[in-house]
Amino acid sequence: MILWELLGDHTFRTVLLGTMGVGAVSGSIGCFAYLRRQSLVGDVVAHSSLLGIVLFFLISYWLTGEGSKSLFVLIPGAMVAGVLALGLSQWIVSCTSVRADSGLGVMLAIFFGTGIMLLRWVQKANPPIPGRRGLDSYLFGMAASMTWADLVMIAIVGVGSIAVMLLLWKELKVFTFDPLLAQSLGYRTRWLDWLMIGIFVNGIVIGIQCIGVVLIIAMLVAPAAAARQWTESLESMVVLAAVIGASCAAIGTVVSAVVSGIPTGPVIVLAGATVVLGSILFAPKRGILFGGRKRASAAMQVRFRESSK
């Protein structure tokens, strides 16, 4: 069978492991972004990270004479740019009358625009910059270029942020649900806020290679949105989102390996979108089809009771 052949291939196994890991980590972290309604924050981090990626590529070129595309170089760049964009937008909001969502939008535009410009320059520079080829694949992702070293970096960042999330589970949970209670219980909420943002940033930057900066936000939001429809506790929601994220990643990776000319990242994202659509249609309690029917029958009963009075 073709799947067995694929699994025998070392490169394919590396890529599959990497994308599934990214799917699971981004999916579970995304639950907090979803519940805190911070999808836009995630998207700002994702888009802004392009600038950091290109800048750190250039720094590695100036230092060594060849631009590096190792995730050990580019992920820290993405983190710095993402956090800087958020920090600057908060600063603008705090000292002007610009509202939070506009502040975020402006930073996204500035960082992503500058990133695109620099990326173009890197590609067109004369004489050519060694190592530049493939740098543009960080826009839409190129899972096939994943190496073992990249996998190690993804594992470090992913396992690190999941570990922090589990250790501080109850603190992050109460902070997400009710920041006022968290503060009155004596937690340092400013600190928790930045910790949460740090975890979001990690969940985003590990996916820049296989999904790309433009689409990675989908891996944060889609599994969470789907999982919420089926679950009734934060614990089960996070676990289910991780499973959905990993499964979509596996589907995308296999499909793009089997069908030639199909890119991995977009297929993964489309698989996620399909699961979301299916969930909001068919989920037993909250789905449009069955949940809606329940609501309709309740409304009918009320009407019946009133008319029979």
Whole-Å CA distances, 45 to 63, 112, 115: 26, 10, 13
Q: How far is the CB of 159 from another protein (least distance, A)?
A: 18
The CA distance from 161 to 171, in Å, is 15
**228 lines the binding site for another protein (CB under 8 A):** yes
* Part of the chain binding another protein (CB under 8 A), chosen from 49-57, 65-73, 102-110, 229-237: 229-237
Pick between residue 26 and residue 231 the one whose CB is nearest to another protein: 231
With 0-12 CB in 10 A as exposed, 13-18 as middle and 19+ as buried, what is 105? middle
Whole-Å CA distances, 69 to 4, 49, 207, 214, 295: 30, 14, 14, 18, 53
**261 lines the binding site for another protein (CB under 8 A):** no
Q: Which of 184, 284, 288, 301 binds another protein (CB under 8 A)?
A: 184
Which one-letter amino acid corresponds to residue 38?
Q
**177 lines the binding site for another protein (CB under 8 A):** yes
Residue 196 CB partners (closer than 8 Å, separation 6+): 32, 36, 172, 175, 176
Smallest Cα–Cα separation from 50: which of 206, 198, 214?
214
Site string for another protein, 35-54 (x = CB under 8 A): x-------------------
Angle between helices 234-258 and 264-282 (to 10 degrees): 140
Structure tokens at 228: 């919420």
Q: How many residues bind another protein (CB under 8 A)?
A: 24
Pick between residue 127 and residue 186 the one whose CB is nearest to another protein: 186
* Part of the chain binding another protein (CB under 8 A), chosen from 133-141, 173-181, 197-205, 206-214: 173-181
Q: Which of 233, 260, 307, 308 binds another protein (CB under 8 A)?
A: 233
* Part of the chain binding another protein (CB under 8 A), chosen from 60-68, 170-178, 196-204, 271-279: 170-178
**231 lines the binding site for another protein (CB under 8 A):** yes
The CA distance from 52 to 271, in Å, is 29
**92 lines the binding site for another protein (CB under 8 A):** no
**174 lines the binding site for another protein (CB under 8 A):** yes
Pick between residue 5 and residue 232 the one whose CB is nearest to another protein: 232
Whole-Å CA distances, 31 to 37, 97, 203: 10, 30, 11
Task: Point out which residues bind another protein (CB under 8 A).
Answer: 35, 167-171, 173-174, 176-178, 180-181, 183-186, 228, 231-234, 236-237
